């Protein structure tokens, strides 16, 4: 949706039909079901390709080769990620809860930890342009934070394994977080990320 404000046309891609069914209709946007490593478009089709909060699930070399194929000459590839840092600014005890209790119950699922780097760009025929770090603070109450965490891959992966059930995760989080919100209605949660720019 954000890209539609700067582009004549936008193509959104996702491998999940369920996610595509939730996509918002827009006259400038077309949606396709496909994987990032095998995209159904001709060579040199795009001026800009973005991968948001997804690169760590890709086969990095296969995706970068596909991005290079699809970009026009001097076209741009922008990869970005953002995630929760595990901190609530007003409550130091929250970070301990997140590390020792939440991540112990709901570890981060296996993913590609390969960093986006000048070496990776060069190895795949792309030009490294730069890296930018950012952070943002979001105010949430217990319910909002629990709703956020229920959408993360930590919880989803555990629920798909069947232990514990999704409803149990929700109940446990609400109960264990209640003491950390005893003195306040909301907390400020820090998210941080990086943006990498590459060019064909």
pLDDT tens, position by position, 58-71:
999 999 999 999 99
In this predicted structure, the answer to whether residue 115 has a pLDDT above a threshold of 90 is no
Alpha-carbon distance of 82 to 55, in angstroms, equals 11
In this predicted structure, the answer to whether residue 164 has a pLDDT above a threshold of 80 is no
DSSP helix/strand/coil, 126 = coil
Contact 63, 170 (CB under 8 A): no
**190 phi and psi angles, rounded to 5 deg:** -95, 130
- Mention every residue, 6+ apart, whose C-beta is less than 8 A from residue 144: none
pLDDT of residue 159: 83
- Token pair in block for residue 146: 């629990």
Contact 79, 50 (CB under 8 A): yes
What is the per-residue pLDDT across 60-105, written as a single tens digit (0 to 9) for each? 999 999 999 999 999 999 999 999 999 999 999 999 999 999 999 9
Instruction: Give pTM, 2 decimals.
Output: 0.89
Give the homologous superfamily in CATH for domain 35-199.
Vaccinia Virus protein VP39 (3.40.50.150)
């Amino acid at each position: 949706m954000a890209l539609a404000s700067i582009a004549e046309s936008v193509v959104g891609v996702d491998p999940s039909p369920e996610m595509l069914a939730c996509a918002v209709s827009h006259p400038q946007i077309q949606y396709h079901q496909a994987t990032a490593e095998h995209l159904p478009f001709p060579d040199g089709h795009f001026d800009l390709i973005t991968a948001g909060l997804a690169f760590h699930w890709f086969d990095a070399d296969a995706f970068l080769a596909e991005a290079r194929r699809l970009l026009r000459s001097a076209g741009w590839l922008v990869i970005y990620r953002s995630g929760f840092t595990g901190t609530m600014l007003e409550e130091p005890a929250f970070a301990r809860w997140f590390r020792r209790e939440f991540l112990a119950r709901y570890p981060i699922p296996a993913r590609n930890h390969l960093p986006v780097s000048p070496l990776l760009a060069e190895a795949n025929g792309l030009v490294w342009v730069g890296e930018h770090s950012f952070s943002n603070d979001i105010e949430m109450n217990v319910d909002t934070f629990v709703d956020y965490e229920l959408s993360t891959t930590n919880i989803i992966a555990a629920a798909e394994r069947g232990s514990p059930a999704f409803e149990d995760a929700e109940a446990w989080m609400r109960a264990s977080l209640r003491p950390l919100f005893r003195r306040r209605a909301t907390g400020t949660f820090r998210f941080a990320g990086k943006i990498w720019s590459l060019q064909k």
